[in-house]
Amino acid sequence: MEGLRSLVQKWEWKNRNEANGTFTQVTIDVETVLRENFVRAITFQVFPVNTILYQVVVEDKGNFLVNLIEKTCECNRFQQDEIPCAHAIAIFAKTQLKTYDYVADYYKTTTMKATYESAVHPLPNESEWKLLETLDKISLPPKTRKPPG
């Protein structure tokens, strides 16, 4: 149990430091994905269907329909990862829409900070432990009669 408690304490410390050291609105890994998608999106052409639907044309790959309300794309990356795919980012680059508004909340550093704000404290020395009285007693199986058959 002490090994598990110690492991969780290390994870909490590492993740809290990562969240506090990040100056972006999302985690470092997601920021990397967004930047890669932005680079891929540079050559994409965007044609609005309406304010919600956009057709993104990628040379040699075809057309992708992006729905900004449902946060979906025909490539399926947008809805699976809940991170804007390159097709969605092509839309954001040509409109006033903000990429971070379309990233799931659990990738945001504010969520990460809230998750790891509490600390995992070490246990006191074993001599200072206060055991419950029931732990000193021996538990016996219940007195029941075995039914026939």
> Contact positions toward Zn ion, by CB under 5 A?
73, 75, 85, 87
Q: Measured from the CB of residue 55, what is the shortest distance to Zn ion in angstroms? A: 12
Cβ closer to Zn ion: 63 or 115?
Answer: 63
Cβ closer to Zn ion: 30 or 75?
Answer: 75
CA distance 34 to 44: 15
Cβ closer to Zn ion: 19 or 34?
Answer: 34
DSSP conformation letters of 29-74: HHHHHHHHHHHHHTT-EEEESSSSEEEEEETTTEEEEEETTTTEET
Q: Measured from the CB of residue 78, what is the shortest distance to Zn ion in angstroms? A: 5
Q: Measured from the CB of residue 56, what is the shortest distance to Zn ion in angstroms? A: 7
60 — alpha (psi -120 to 50), left (phi > 0) or beta? left
